[in-house]
């Protein structure tokens, strides 16, 4: 112990040695760093009185005292007096020295304090090699209050007792007058909660006043933290100014609630990986300022990856979510809690194990949340949302076993070039109601289910729930759908495609483009069912179809009037409406049927004033219908022709000669048209 006390060295000699050192090493102050507890005695306190800046008591750990004294020697303090011996704020940043903590396992019983310092470097030999463990409950390892422009690197921070605080707090409490946290790099560190600590690293615990922006978190490991590996703010203190925090690489493991949680701040995630099992979310964002949050190149083995309940636009690109699950095999043993991947693309949990597995279950017959027993194994379908957000752009990603939930479909969102293992990967939107009154701005394109191009199905029961989006979009081999589809289910082979392909309707459901077509199609070429414009092909457009009571819709055709301002001003007198009554053009009663027939007629020689009649069969004509006539032999004035329905299917034509002389009309074609309202 004498080497640590170094009684022969005076306080002034120690101070002189520190002033000539270009770096600060806690071993100078007696650190053991052997992973064991070494508590200071009363005699050791007395022997070092005058050498230490801080106040300590018997029972404090030597490693704690040595590390704290090394902090004072490197960065000033503990006085906040704006002098060279006080905390080195911006004006005295030039006096700071790097604090290099050698390899070893340091045991501390109190929180290391670092306050108001600008321009600092705290570096271990390397993570796992340099470890600091907090053995007292509910105390951080390091409390960095009011730090700016610095680096913390190569250190493992560990919980050695139950801890409701973060292992490292980067905050601004106002205890010292300094810059607020900004421009800090934390790299190659480990934050190990050991299943005891709530948080690994937390920024801006005190809320918006603590700022905490432009912090780079590079290649860190967050592991076994009960609440979150990385946190911004708290549920009661929202960190609105903790902005542009960047998580670059690194890993988050075994954090059962959140990997990263942001209470109103913003974390940009690039290439971080997650393995958190049956969690709440790898990345969670609550509230926040309106901005886009990138989440790029992430690999996750967790069930739930992103949960956003904020106005932020979550931009996910290149997410590879692969749940670690076994494949069912008869006679295999499975433990309770194990996950199983069904052949239907869904995930199941073993809830009871009393022997080996039996025959393969009929996966598609298991309802959402349902259970089945085969052999001695009981499993339950596990329902979870891999991604849930108000506003979302999800692209070039793979989702296993879970679903996507867009909770504000009236806001612009996009799902593109993604693969899903289950057909019902899209949760029905709350604004996409059966009456089609909810605005929906979700666009989907290039989606593959189970390795094949298929659209989302929002229910495992046919026609049970509405299709999620009214704005499907695809320019590949899949069709362009601007409709919910038949009975609430999208057709996999029905849609529109503009350009040279015209309106393309492949497959056998060409008669079932149904309700709520809201898209706008530009210039069209040929129109056909197959896209090759074969002779004899039909195009059938139907609207307002569905099952159940109520309903009843129409197909409305109109064009926008040319306006100098570009404003679309609908003109009710320039619209064609097709409903179950018939067709209405520009308003008025609907025309339900328009019937016609032709006949060859050779009237006799007729004196002036003479009238003759004939009849034409018009199938479907009824008494009271409107009749219009045309006769090709009348090519001069003086002839009066009229008609009326005199019996079912019979139109009687009356022809009167009013030319002033006897005349004989040639044989010609008589045309009769009957209109029903």
537 pLDDT tier (thresholds 50, 70, 90): low
What is the rounded average pLDDT of the residues 629-654? Answer: 92
Q: Are residues 239 and 345 in the same domain?
A: no
Q: Are residues 271 and 361 in the same domain?
A: no
Q: Are residues 94 and 231 in the same domain?
A: yes
**Full domain range(s) for residue 372:** 326-382
Residue 225 within any structural domain of the chain: yes
- Rounded distance between C-alpha atoms, residue 585 and residue 557, angstroms: 10
Inter-residue contact 97 to 24 (CB < 8 Å): yes
Cα–Cα distances in angstroms (integers) from residue 547 to residues 428, 515, 552, in the given order:
19, 12, 10
For residues 650 and 476, which has the higher predicted lDDT (pLDDT)?
650
Cα–Cα distances in angstroms (integers) from residue 189 to residues 35, 137, 146, 156, 645, in the given order:
18, 22, 20, 5, 94
Count of CB atoms situated within 10 Å of the CB of 446? 18
Q: What is residue 182's predicted lDDT score, i.e. its pLDDT?
A: 97
Q: What is residue 402's predicted lDDT score, i.e. its pLDDT?
A: 95
Lowest mean pLDDT among 324-328, 448-452, 630-634: 448-452
What is the rounded average pLDDT of the residues 608-634? Answer: 92
Planar angle of CA 643, 647, 649, nearest 5 degrees? 85
- Rounded distance between C-alpha atoms, residue 78 and residue 114, angstroms: 8
**Is 275's pLDDT higher than 70?**
yes
Q: Are residues 97 and 152 in the same domain?
A: yes
Q: Could you report the per-residue pLDDT of 29-45, keeping only the tens digit for each?
A: 999 999 999 999 999 99
Q: What is residue 4's predicted lDDT score, i.e. its pLDDT?
A: 57
Structure token pair of residue 30: 């007696």
Residue 337 within any structural domain of the chain: yes
Q: Are residues 171 and 46 in the same domain?
A: yes
- Rounded distance between C-alpha atoms, residue 173 and residue 394, angstroms: 38
- Give the number of C-alpha atoms closer than 13 A to the C-alpha of residue 518, restricted to the C-beta side: 17
Planar angle of CA 181, 185, 187, nearest 5 degrees? 140
Closest CA to 263 of 281, 287, 246: 287
Inter-residue contact 487 to 466 (CB < 8 Å): no
Q: Are residues 188 and 102 in the same domain?
A: yes
Q: Are residues 138 and 58 in the same domain?
A: yes
Q: What is residue 540's predicted lDDT score, i.e. its pLDDT?
A: 58
Q: Could you report the per-residue pLDDT of 455-507, keeping only the tens digit for each?
A: 454 433 333 333 333 334 433 333 344 444 444 444 443 344 333 333 333 33
What is the rounded average pLDDT of the residues 592-597? Answer: 91
Q: Is the dihedral of CA 360, 361, 363, 369 positive or negative?
A: negative
Residue 525 within any structural domain of the chain: yes
Closest CA to 403 of 427, 380, 421, 419: 427
Stated length of the chain: 677
Lowest mean pLDDT among 57-66, 295-304, 389-398, 500-509: 500-509
Beta-ladder partners of 248 = 218, 270
Inter-residue contact 586 to 616 (CB < 8 Å): no
382 pLDDT tier (thresholds 50, 70, 90): very high
Residue 530 within any structural domain of the chain: yes
Residue 175 within any structural domain of the chain: yes
What is the rounded average pLDDT of the residues 293-318? Answer: 96
Q: Is the dihedral of CA 372, 375, 378, 382 positive or negative?
A: negative
Q: What is residue 513's predicted lDDT score, i.e. its pLDDT?
A: 36
Residue 29 within any structural domain of the chain: yes
What is the rounded average pLDDT of the residues 412-437? Answer: 73
Q: Could you report the per-residue pLDDT of 80-93, keeping only the tens digit for each?
A: 988 999 999 999 99
Q: What is residue 550's predicted lDDT score, i.e. its pLDDT?
A: 56
**Is 508's pLDDT higher than 90?**
no
Closest CA to 441 of 495, 497, 512, 393: 393
Q: Could you report the per-residue pLDDT of 242-265, keeping only the tens digit for each?
A: 999 999 999 999 999 999 999 999
End-of-domain residue from the set 496, 513, 537:
537
Parallel/antiparallel/unpaired status of strands 639-647 and 650-657: antiparallel
For residues 179 and 523, which has the higher predicted lDDT (pLDDT)?
179
Q: Are residues 249 and 107 in the same domain?
A: yes
405 pLDDT tier (thresholds 50, 70, 90): very high
- Rounded distance between C-alpha atoms, residue 367 and residue 286, angstroms: 32
For residues 33 and 427, which has the higher predicted lDDT (pLDDT)?
33
Residue 412 within any structural domain of the chain: no
Q: What is residue 484's predicted lDDT score, i.e. its pLDDT?
A: 40
End-of-domain residue from the set 289, 307, 338:
289
Q: Are residues 153 and 59 in the same domain?
A: yes
Closest CA to 101 of 136, 131, 139, 73: 131
Q: Could you report the per-residue pLDDT of 549-567, keeping only the tens digit for each?
A: 555 667 777 776 665 555 6
Starting at the earlier edge strand, list the strands of the sheet with 639-647.
611-617, 650-657, 639-647
Instruction: Tell me what the pLDDT averaged over the chain comes to.
Output: 84
Q: Are residues 517 and 656 in the same domain?
A: no
Q: What is residue 45's predicted lDDT score, i.e. its pLDDT?
A: 93
Q: Could you report the per-residue pLDDT of 101-112, keeping only the tens digit for each?
A: 999 999 999 999
Q: What is residue 551's predicted lDDT score, i.e. its pLDDT?
A: 56
Q: What is residue 491's predicted lDDT score, i.e. its pLDDT?
A: 41
Starting at the earlier edge strand, list the strands of the sheet with 347-357.
326-327, 339-341, 347-357, 371-382
Residue 387 within any structural domain of the chain: no
Q: Are residues 250 and 376 in the same domain?
A: no
For residues 112 and 546, which has the higher predicted lDDT (pLDDT)?
112
End-of-domain residue from the set 537, 555, 578:
537
Number of domains comprising the chain? 4
Q: Are residues 282 and 181 in the same domain?
A: yes
Closest CA to 39 of 107, 99, 126: 107
Cα–Cα distances in angstroms (integers) from residue 505 to residues 19, 526, 543, in the given order:
83, 12, 16
């Amino acid at each position: 112990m004498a080497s640590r006390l170094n009684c022969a060295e005076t306080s002034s000699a120690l101070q002189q040695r520190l002033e000539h050192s270009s770096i600060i090493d806690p071993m100078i102050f007696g650190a053991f760093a052997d992973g064991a507890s070494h508590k200071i005695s009363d005699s050791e306190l007395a022997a070092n009185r005058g050498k230490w800046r801080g106040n300590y008591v018997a029972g404090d750990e030597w490693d704690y005292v040595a590390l704290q004294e090394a902090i004072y020697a490197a960065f000033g303090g503990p006085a906040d007096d704006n002098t060279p011996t006080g905390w080195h704020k911006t004006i005295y940043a030039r006096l700071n020295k790097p604090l290099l903590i050698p390899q070893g396992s340091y045991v501390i019983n109190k929180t290391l304090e670092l306050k108001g310092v600008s321009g600092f470097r705290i570096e271990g030999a390397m993570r796992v090699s340099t470890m600091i463990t907090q053995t007292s409950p509910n105390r951080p390892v390091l409390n960095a209050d009011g730090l700016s422009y610095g680096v913390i690197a190569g250190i493992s921070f560990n919980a050695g007792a139950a801890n409701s605080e973060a292992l490292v707090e980067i905050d601004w409490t106002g205890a010292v007058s300094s810059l607020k946290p900004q421009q800090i790099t934390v790299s190659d560190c480990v934050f190990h909660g050991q299943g005891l600590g709530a948080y690994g690293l937390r920024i801006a615990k005190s809320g918006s006043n603590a700022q905490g922006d432009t912090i780079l978190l590079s290649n860190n490991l967050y592991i076994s933290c009960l609440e979150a590996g990385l946190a911004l703010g708290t549920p009661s203190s929202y960190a609105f100014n903790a902005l542009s925090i960047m998580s670059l690489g690194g890993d988050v493991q075994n954090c059962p609630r959140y990997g990263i949680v942001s209470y109103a701040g913003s974390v940009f995630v690039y290439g971080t990986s997650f393995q958190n099992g049956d969690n709440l979310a790898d990345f969670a964002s609550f509230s926040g300022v309106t901005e886009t949050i990138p989440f790029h190149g992430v690999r996750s083995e967790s069930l739930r990856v992103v949960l956003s309940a904020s106005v932020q636009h979550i931009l996910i690109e290149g997410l590879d979510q692969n749940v670690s699950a076994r494949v069912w095999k008869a006679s295999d043993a499975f433990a309770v809690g194990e996950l199983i991947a069904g052949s239907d693309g869904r995930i199941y949990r073993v809830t009871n194990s009393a022997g080996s597995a039996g025959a393969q279950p009929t996966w598609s017959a298991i309802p959402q949340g349902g259970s089945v027993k085969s052999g001695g194994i009981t499993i339950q379908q596990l329902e979870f949302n891999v991604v849930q957000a108000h506003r979302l752009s999800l692209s070039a990603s793979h989702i296993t076993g879970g679903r996507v939930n867009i909770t504000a479909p009236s806001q612009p969102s996009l799902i593109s070039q993604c693969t899903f293992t289950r057909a019902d990967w899209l949760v029905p939107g709350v604004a996409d109601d059966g009456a089609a009154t909810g605005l929906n701005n979700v666009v989907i394109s290039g989606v593959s289910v189970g390795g094949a191009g298929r659209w989302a199905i929002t229910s495992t029961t046919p026609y049970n729930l509405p299709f999620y989006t009214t704005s499907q979009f695809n320019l590949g081999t899949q069709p362009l759908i601007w409709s919910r589809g038949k009975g609430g289910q999208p057709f996999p082979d029905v849609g529109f495609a503009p350009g040279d392909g015209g309106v393309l309707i492949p497959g056998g459901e060409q008669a079932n483009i149904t309700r709520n077509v809201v898209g706008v199609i530009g210039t069209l070429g040929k129109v056909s069912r197959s896209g090759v414009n074969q002779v004899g092909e039909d195009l059938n457009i139907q609207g307002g179809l569905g099952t159940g009571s109520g309903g009843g819709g129409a197909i409305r055709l109109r064009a926008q009037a040319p306006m100098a301002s570009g404003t679309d001003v609908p003109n009710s007198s320039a619209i064609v409406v097709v409903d179950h009554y018939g067709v209405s053009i520009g308003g008025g009663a609907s025309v339900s049927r328009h019937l016609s027939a032709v006949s060859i007629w050779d009237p006799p020689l007729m004196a002036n004033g003479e009238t003759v009649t004939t009849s034409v069969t018009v199938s479907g004509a009824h008494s009271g219908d409107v009749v219009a006539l045309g006769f090709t032999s009348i090519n001069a004035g003086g002839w009066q022709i009229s008609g009326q329905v005199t019996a079912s299917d019979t139109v009687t034509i009356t022809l009167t000669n009013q030319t002033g002389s006897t005349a004989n009309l040639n044989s010609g074609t008589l045309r009769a048209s009957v209109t029903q309202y």
